[in-house]
Structure 1
Amino acid sequence: MAEQDGKYNIKAAALMLGIQPGTLRAWERRYQMIAPVRNEAGHRLYTEEHIKILKWLIKKVNQGFTISQAISLMGQNQTVMDSEEINLKLGNPLISLSDALYEALIHFEQEKINEVINSLFSIFSMEKVVIDVFGQIYMKIEESFSTGKITKAQRNYSTLFLEARITSIILSFPTHHHHNKAVCLTFPKGGDNNSLEKLMLTFYLRKRGIEVINIGSFHSEEDLKATLNLIHPDLLILSCEEINDLESALSFVELLSKHHQDFSIGICGEAITKMDPFVMEQFSPFILGRTVNDWEMWLTERMIF
């Protein structure tokens, strides 16, 4: 019964939670997710249960959810907080679920794969699962294949499954035709059209309302010019995976930048990480980077969003 007694005023509660009292008041007023008791003077008093709920909501916000999404998630499954608390006591759920997904993938256990992925999405934000979890597992699969720990069939099944799942998520996002447009292409002709890094970047852009048009491999300057005149993009992203193609790709970027001031140009891909430091410095305005923070900073500087 003591758990239901109000014992923390709003300043103490806000200090424990790491947020401003005004934020806490605004959340309560808008969403009514808790109802703190009042003392004789009319001041709010928070119970241990209130603090537990608020800590869970703040954790979700820190994972990338909006407060309204976090409250909706809590409302959809009243047992989710208790189950997460049990998981946290047993160990880090991110690590345990990531390991479980890897094992399910390399053993072709489709039912288990879907079960683990559903658990991941119930605990972590969509961006956390796609970019961090799927990305790490993809690299682990490639490493396992290169060291002979898994077969080519295991590698192909696992990577294709992850790529298909990410693609299905991307396709589920609504298209806003009045928003910015990005054109993605792979250099050179015959390059990999579906590299995971490009899929991750596409997911990131689509989640932020940017329309992404993937035109596949580069064919010719004339073909690309005609395509850009049809689309009128705000952003052109060129992906280069092979170091042998890098010099040609950078020359093409340099040429485009001289003749097109109407859109921003970004380059990404495995080959970019192997650039000579001097060349990297020279082309730094075009390098997108490989993390969400890199992408956020690059796009914000160019006022893409």
Structure 2
Amino acid sequence: MAPMSNKATHPPDTPLYPIREVSRITGVNSVTLRAWERRYGLIRPQRTPKGHRLYAQDDIQRIERILQWLNRGVPVSQVVDLLDQPTAPDTPTSNASDWNSQRLQLQAAIQSLDMLKLEALYHQSLALYPLSISINELWQPVIHSLEAQWKAQPDDLVRRTLEAFLRSQVGMRLYYANQATRGPLILLSTMPDDPGPLWMLMAALMASEQGYRVQLLDAPLALDELPRAVSRLHVSLVLLASGQAEDSTFIQQALPQAAAGLKVPLGICGEVARLRAADLQDSEVHVLGNDLTQAISRLRPLLRESGVL
């Protein structure tokens, strides 16, 4: 592919697509597409006389190639130098030190309680990358690192400040997303031993991005209350998240009993899913894993099996 000029030109009969349709085709939201264009010049769509972006098929193919590099762990700042290579190698030749730098910046902002920097990094990460990549490469590793530190040396001020920040940001995102979709409603809550909602909030972001409506519960709901919650809220699936192993009696007895008594699927995600998979393999609890992107991708088959989709 030849280097891209500053202005896209296509034959007059080339089919052109508006940004909303390109977002649907590629799975990349319009905010990210605009950021790739303005900040890095990765794509340059045509413009209508009124300034609306129009994309040709080769633009869409270029976006898909960008996603291939990003999914291999290459930061967006390095993708522009790789796009015009004839083939994309299985292992990227560029190092991913930029991801390490971004993680260090994010963790430093959190630990220093630099809220302006934290807000800037949060919005930047969601604008420059598809959400699954942002969570996999940035947010999930940072949360892992912080929780390991907090186990050795608790810091409730930093934890609660981060939780409050994410709760407000994710809450706003969910509010508008829930208005815009008619997707199945997921009830999402933490488990009793989890000291905070960090895993739940990340799972909520992923679920919302995939077109689900999300109802968050700030505190764990008693398991015997779940049937009433499912009925009154018209819930299609219950998803519980935790970064802890959780109590053995809760995992081995109470949770399987609750899943067996529900009319909808009950799934778990976060570290608890990795740590307790063996304890739940013969139960009706769906163990979705600690990789949040994969966990949320497994919801759709469950909903199909239950007759919701």
Q: TM-score range by the shorter chain?
A: 0.5 to 0.7
Structure 1 residue 248: Cα displacement: 2.9
1:120 is matched with which residue: 125, 128, 132?
Answer: 125
- Is this contact kept in 2: 1:170–1:206, CA < 8 A? yes
Please state whether the residue corresponding to 1:254 is helix, strand or coil: helix
**TM-score in terms of structure 1 length:** 0.63
**Any residues of structure 2 matched to 1:57-136 within 5 Å, and which?**
65=28, 71-74=33-36, 77=38, 80-81=41-42, 84=77, 92-136=97-141
**Structure 2 length as normaliser, TM-score?**
0.62
| Aligned residues of 1:176 and 1:211 also touching (Cα < 8 A) | no
1:240/1:246 contact within 8 Å kept: no
How much has 1:207 moved relative to structure 2?
A: 1.7
Higher mean alpha-carbon deviation, 195-204 vs 166-175, is at 166-175
2:289 aligns to what? 289
Check if 1:183 corresponds to 2:169: no
Comparing 207-216 with 90-99, greater Cα deviation is found at 90-99
Which residue number corresponds to residue 16 of structure 2?
30
Q: Which has the higher helix share?
A: 1
Aligned AA (1:29): P
Q: Is the 8 A contact 2:32 2:128 kept in 1?
A: no
Deviation at 1:287, TM superposition (A): 0.9
What root-mean-square deviation, in Å, do the aligned CA atoms of Structure 1 and Structure 2 show? 4.3
After the TM superposition, which of the residue ranges 211-220 and 195-204 deviates more from structure 2? Answer: 211-220
Deviations 1:74-123 (A, max 9, x none): 55x26554993599799743322222122222222233333333443343
Report Cα offsets for 1:255-302 as digits up to 9, x if no partner: 344444x4212123544433373x342137611212212331343244
Out of 187, 202, 205, the position equivalent to 2:204 is 202
Deviation at 1:195? 2.2
Q: Which runs of 5+ in 1 are unaligned?
A: 6-23, 34-56
Q: Which amino acid aligns with 1:93?
A: D
Q: What's the % identity of the aligned pairs?
A: 13
Paired amino acid for 2:15: R
The one-letter amino acid paired with 1:84 is S
How far apart, in 1, do the equivalents of 2:125 and 2:241 lie?
A: 29
- The alpha-carbon distance between structure 1 residues 280 and 177, as it changes in their structure 2 partners (threshold 3 A), is same
Shift of 1:224: 3.4
Output aligned runs, 1:136-285, within 5 Å.
136-148=141-153, 152-175=156-179, 178-188=182-192, 192=194, 194-215=196-217, 216-219=219-222, 221=224, 223-239=225-241, 243=245, 245-260=247-262, 262-275=263-276, 277=278, 279-283=279-283
CA distance in 2, matches of 1:299, 1:176: 19
